[in-house]
Copies of this chain bind each other. A is one copy, B any other.
Amino acid sequence: MQPKRLSVLGVGLLGGSLGLAAKARVSGCRVVGYAHRPETLDQALSLGAIDEGYDDPVRAVRDADLVVLCTPVGMLGDLLARVAPALAPDAVATDVGSTKASVVRVAEERCPTVRFVGSHPMAGSEKRGVAFARADLFDGAVCVTTPTARTEPVVLAGVEAFWRHLGMRVERLSPDEHDRLICDVSHLPHAVAAALVTAQQPGAERLAGRGFLDATRIAGGDGGLWRDILLDNRSNLTASIGRLRKSLDELESLLDQDRAEELREWLDRAADRRRAAQPGRNEGGGENGRNDPS
Contacts and interface: CB of A to CB of B under 8 A. Distances in A.
Interface of A: 122-123, 141-142, 144, 171, 180-182, 184-186, 188-201, 203-224, 226-227, 230-231, 234, 237-238, 240-241, 243-248, 250-252, 255-256, 258, 260, 263-271, 273-279, 282-288
A215 B217 contact: yes
A216 B214 CA distance: 8
Given A210-B285, A230-B255, A241-B251, 15 more contacts: A181-B203, A186-B209, A191-B248, A192-B196, A192-B215, A199-B246, A201-B243, A205-B277, A208-B279, A210-B287, A211-B287, A215-B218, A217-B274, A227-B263, A238-B252
Nearest to A268: B223
B216 A274 contact: yes
A195 B247 contact: yes
Say whether chain A's binding surface is mostly helix, strand, loop, or mixed.
helix
A226 B254 CA distance: 13
A54 B244 CA distance: 46
A214 to B, nearest CB: 5
Nearest to A184: B204
Contacts of A141: 209-210
A290 to B, nearest CB: 10
Contacts of A265: 223
Contacts of A199: 184, 188, 240, 243-244, 246-247
21 contacts: A188-B199, A189-B196, A190-B211, A192-B196, A193-B274, A196-B247, A197-B270, A199-B247, A208-B277, A209-B287, A209-B288, A214-B214, A214-B215, A216-B277, A221-B271, A224-B268, A227-B267, A230-B255, A234-B256, A238-B255, A241-B252
B198 A269 contact: yes
Contacts of A216: 189, 215, 274, 277
A106 B177 CA distance: 53
A218 B212 CA distance: 9
Contacts of A273: 197-198, 200, 205
Given A205-B276, A271-B221, A195 B263 contact: no
A226 B264 CA distance: 8
Contacts of A210: 141, 282-287
B268 A207 contact: no
A223 B274 CA distance: 12
A255 to B, nearest CB: 5
Contacts of A256: 234, 238
A192 to B, nearest CB: 6
Contacts of A269: 198
